[in-house]
Structure 1
Amino acid sequence: MSEHTYRLAVIVASTREGRFAPVIANWFSRQAETRAHVDLDVIDLAEVRPYELRHGSEEYETFAKRVEQADAFVVITPEYNHSFPAPLKHAIDLLFPQWRAKPVGFVSYGGISGGLRAVEQLRLVFAELHATTVRETVSFALAGNLFDDQGRLHDPAPAEKAADALLRQLEWWALALREARTARPYGG
């Protein structure tokens, strides 16, 4: 990995059967993969099954290592009842030092709010973990109406512009914070 390449972990928060999350996650992953300096790791909580993780188990250690190795995160989250999914909260709470001094961005979807209420609550959670949330987001209001059957946006330009802004901010923060963590341990 070059000094300008950073590992971006995309965390897919929804675990519900019939979820729309894979459409959003696949779309965003395609956006991220166009970046020369991104090493992408998609962490799908439906596969990780955070409620089944036990400290010290091989599955727990694998999850912890993937989070530790990430330089930045993008959380793909729906909005459920004005909040984010419980499995995401549990996955976040399983770890602490692995999140510290790293940037977090959000791609949200949902009803008319596009998942932004979930994002606002997640900003509070990540602040408590000493993570830095970036300002730019990608939000899909009434997401099911925006994509075709192949997972392509009917009008991709606005979302691509938002994804570009998010990824530019994440890259800056990921590299700056990695350099800072390398120069001196985070004291939070």
Structure 2
Amino acid sequence: MKYQLKIIIGSTRPTRKGPIVADWFLKIAQQHPNFDVELLDLKEINLPFMDEPEHPRLQKYTKAHTKKWSKTIDSADAFVMVTPEYNFSYPATLKNALDYLSVEWSEKPMGFVSYGGVSGGTRAVQELKGPVTALGMMPIPQAVNIPFFTQFINEDDVFEANEPLEKSANLMLNKLQNWSKALKNMRKNVAD
């Protein structure tokens, strides 16, 4: 069975490196035969700050951009957030993207690829686990944390990971597949 995996680039800064990191991870994810993978770039999606009049839990969306975002997220079985660390946390654009919806995120696993300086973005991931859990998602403990990430970007702006990063990416994807299967079965059984 194929699971729908959405990889979300969380940074929208003009000088961001998230797409470079995400491209590397995307190539690894595409090698996993049980995932159909889609890359979602929040800069391209360009959600305005939450502008819906009703609580997302009600799914009474009035804006075309919300309806489109809802459909995209609802179709997923699993997610991976690619996030930098900004001031010991994650980008506001990522929080906004999460807050737009509620039901669509629920009972799905979330993995993390984080990058930064000495902490490798781990503080951003720790901060993300609160809202992710509040949305009813399962943040899996396996993650890819990339410290001093610029050392892996070559002169052609291509991310060249070392063996430990490659191993952590594959381990996380294997665990994400297990959680995808379990939670999809759970969602199906509840719906029946």
TM (normalized to structure 2)? Answer: 0.90
1:43 aligns with 2:43: no
What is the RMSD of the two structures over their aligned residues, measured on CA atoms? Answer: 1.5
> Hey, what does 1:74 align to over in structure 2?
80
Secondary structure at the aligned position of 1:139 is classed as strand
Separation of aligned partners in 1, 2:65 and 2:75: 15
Q: After TM superposition, what 4+ stretches of structure 1 lie above 3 angstroms from structure 2?
A: 52-55
Alignment of 1:123-138 (within 5 A): 123-138=129-144
Separation of aligned partners in 2, 1:10 and 1:60: 18
Secondary structure at the aligned position of 1:172 is classed as helix
Q: Deviations over 1:103-139 (max 9, x none)?
A: 0000000111010000001111111111001111001
> Hey, what does 1:32 align to over in structure 2?
29
Secondary structure at the aligned position of 1:80 is classed as coil
Whichever residue aligns with residue 144 of structure 2, its letter is V
Separation of aligned partners in 2, 1:185 and 1:125: 24
Any gaps of 5 or more consecutive residues in structure 2?
52-60
Query: In 1, are the aligned partners of 2:29 and 2:37 still within 8 Å (CA)?
Result: yes
Query: In 1, are the aligned partners of 2:49 and 2:96 still within 8 Å (CA)?
Result: no
Separation of aligned partners in 2, 1:179 and 1:130: 16
Query: In 2, are the aligned partners of 1:104 and 1:170 still within 8 Å (CA)?
Result: yes
Alignment of 1:138-157 (within 5 A): 138-150=144-156, 151-153=158-160, 155-157=161-163
Comparing 57-66 with 81-90, greater Cα deviation is found at 57-66
Secondary structure at the aligned position of 1:70 is classed as coil
Any gaps of 5 or more consecutive residues in structure 1?
none
Query: 1:185 Cα shift?
Result: 3.7
Query: Which residue among 95, 98, 117 is the counterpart of 2:104?
Result: 98
1:164 aligns with 2:164: no
Query: Which residue among 14, 19, 28 is the counterpart of 1:17?
Result: 14
Whichever residue aligns with residue 48 of structure 2, its letter is Y
TM (normalized to structure 1)? Answer: 0.92
Separation of aligned partners in 2, 1:152 and 1:47: 21
Query: How many positions carry a matched residue from both structures?
Result: 182
